[in-house]
Chains A and B, each alone.
Chain A
Amino acid sequence: MTTAAAPSPFPEALKNAFVTALIALGLAAPMMGLVTVQVGGDLGLEPHCPRVAIAVALVFVGRLILNLTIWRPGRVKKVTAISPKTERLLSKTARYLAPAAVAFAIILPFLPGVGRGQIDLGILVLTYVMLGWGLNIVVGLAGLLDLGYVAFYAVGAYSYALLAQNFGFSFWLCLPLAGILAALWGVMLGFPVLRLRGDYLAIVTLAFGEIIRLVLLNWQWFTGGPNGIGGIPKPSFFGIDFKTGPDGFAATFGLTFSPLHRIIFMYYLILALALITNYFVIRLRRLPIGRAWEALREDEIACRSLGVNTVNTKLTAFALGAMFAGFAGSFFATRQGFISPESFVFMESALILAIVVLGGMGSQFGVAVAALLMIGGFEWFREFQDYRLIIFGLVMVLIMVWRPRGLVSSRSPSVFLKEKKAISGSLVQEGHG
């Protein structure tokens, strides 16, 4: 063999690992090395060296191993793009995957071993799937970075709670009202931010979300302030309540009463709402307005020069996105029976946005998978309360490293000549196109 005497990568790797370990030391020393303790009524700090040592050693060894294996210099990097063939296969299976997932969701409550806990989790996941699909209109399609989406969720929830409490309106009447009110707020947010894009838009929407929350918190006589609103009525099944009496759901249908009936009903309700959202978003994408959203995301000036009224286009995106959050919000209110501003913090907006981004902006199926992963994962790790956010962050970073454009990054065009062709997202450079 005639290998050129390549310089040993070892010293370089060692040096690099050492630097990394130093950074780890800098981070770990204050964060893990100092523990707050009670010192006779006062708060004191106690150094905790072994923990720091272990952390630093782990980082050093880990980095060294990585440097000598995966990150070895000169290692031929595999093209991360999935080959067109597999991409085609994936999109083919994806076509069956989505109906399969819907079918699974429909039979879920009756599968053996599925109890109240699982159905509750299903309701939670579906709520976020719906929110993700709604936000997808604003962020994924229209490209407007909205960090205050939870505000519309809150508007929907409070609309239902207040209308039901003050006027005794039923859920079925409030649902559209909540959607309309949320859409109005969407337009209201839309107007001042018409000229903003990217970072600036993100900051204003973030502020908007906080303002709504603070108003809910401080408008004591109207919203109940921090005490929230309780005793929110449950929806009926086309006028039949879920109760024990002779005119209850169970008696009417000749079943023995079980509190599970209502839970299952709630599950199907949110499933239906989510599927309606999905249907609308898919339809909208094929309409001129949907194409205008996508074009707007790409190039606003070009859009206007083609006769697109960008003001209306943006406002419709905000309004429709908000409307679906409003629907989801009134569902949330009726499911919980109690709402308070605490349910509508920035973390929720961040979570929904993370679902959209991780799912691959614009991909409906990806968003659903991301919601399942994030919310399901979140619940799964409930026992490790303290580490949940760390794991959450880690998973996000890993997904973004592995698939920088989200789980499902191929975007299928909305206009075809003869056959559908998915455009692979991984073949296009980041930041462009």
Chain B
Amino acid sequence: MTALLSLEGVTAYYGSIAALKGVDVEVSEGEIVTLIGANGAGKSTLMMTIFGSPQARDGRIVYDGRDITRTPMHEIARLKIAQSPEGRRIFPRMSVLENLKMGAAVTQFAHYDEDLERMFAIFPRLKERAAQRGGTLSGGEQQMLAIARALMSRPRLLMLDEPSLGLAPLVAKQIFSVVKELNEKDGLTVFLVEQNAYHALKLAHRGYVMVNGKITMSGGGRELLEKPEVRAAYLEGGR
């Protein structure tokens, strides 16, 4: 399999502080790849570096055979990479519908109506709330909106930063099953950053473990789940 996205020796800095210290990651087409790690490990930074903010200082980021290391963020979005960033970042004063429409901007609204129906089928809650302000949605609804907004651009690669953050277990489970379904049915490639290591690793084909800006372990999802180091550090002795 050729990699859809690959990072080679990527470093990133906030001022003089290194947040990523030479990261190698590969995501193949049709895969769900998860990245787990403690708070402050640099997971969100990695996701944002792929998107060009902060830009990688060394190393290369290649997407679909194209070097995007120095590509500006808005152009990366046009390459059919979509993200639901940390903290969701929906537009709080705009309605749910407007948020979704913003997501379809890169496709010039070519499939807007069709995709909207699809999003409402996946997340019926959003249809009920279509006219409501984004900022007044509940946390879970906001997360659904952030994912739906990202999907409106018909991405090949969807990057999610902690989609289960602050959600009731049942809602989190629902989100994960949506991700799984999108992957299996539509062949969507997913890069998933998670704190909820158990669910993430169970869902993912492969996983990476990040410590202090470096990848320390990688392997199949189930395989990582079995490793005692992973269990001890991220699963509180297993469940």
Contacts and interface: CB of A to CB of B under 8 A. Distances in A.
Interface of A: 288, 291-292, 294-295, 297-299, 301-310, 411, 413-417, 421, 423, 428, 432-433
B78 A307 contact: yes
A413 B85 CA distance: 24
A297 B89 CA distance: 12
Contacts of B136: 428, 433
A322 to B, nearest CB: 24
Interface string B128-152: 0011111110000000000001000
A428 B135 contact: yes
A302 B74 contact: no
B69 interface: no
Nearest to B159: A305
B92 A294 contact: no
Contacts of B131: 413, 416-417, 421, 423
B98 A414 contact: yes
Q: Which residue, B77, B78, B94, has most C-beta atoms of chain A within 10 A?
A: B94
B118 interface: no
B125 interface: no
A259 B133 CA distance: 53
Given A302-B90, A309-B74, 15 more contacts: A298-B91, A298-B93, A299-B89, A301-B53, A304-B53, A304-B73, A305-B74, A305-B77, A305-B82, A306-B106, A417-B130, A417-B131, A428-B135, A433-B133, A433-B135
Nearest to B88: A302
A432 to B, nearest CB: 6
Contacts of B95: 413, 415, 423
Given A304-B53, A423-B131, A295 B94 contact: yes
Contact of B102 (A295, A309, A411, A432): A295
Contacts, number: 98
Contact of B101 (A309, A415, A433): A415
Contacts of A415: 95, 97-98, 101
Contacts of B77: 304-307
Contacts of A310: 74
Interface of B: 51, 53, 72-75, 77-78, 82-83, 85, 89-95, 97-98, 101-103, 105-106, 109, 130-136, 149, 153
B98 A413 contact: yes
A411 B103 contact: no
A306 B85 contact: no
A49 to B, nearest CB: 52
B99 to A, nearest CB: 8
Contact of B106 (A297, A307, A417): A307
B108 to A, nearest CB: 8
* In the A-B complex, the 9 residue pairs with the closest CB atoms: A433-B135, A307-B77, A307-B106, A433-B92, A302-B89, A298-B91, A413-B95, A421-B131, A304-B73
Contact of A306 (B75, B109, B132, B153): B153
Given A299-B91, A306-B149, A432-B135, A416 B105 contact: no
A301 B77 CA distance: 12
A428 B78 CA distance: 34
Nearest to B89: A302
A307 B75 CA distance: 6
A297 B215 CA distance: 36
Given A295-B91, A295-B102, A299-B91, A305 B135 contact: no
Contacts of B82: 305-306
Contacts of A308: 74, 102, 105
Contacts of B91: 294-295, 298-299, 302
7 contacts: A299-B89, A304-B77, A305-B77, A413-B95, A428-B133, A433-B133, A433-B136
Given A423-B95, A432-B135, A305 B51 contact: yes
Contacts of B102: 291-292, 295, 303, 306, 308
A368 B97 CA distance: 28
A308 B97 CA distance: 17
A411 B93 contact: yes
Given A292-B105, A305-B51, A413-B131, A433 B97 contact: no
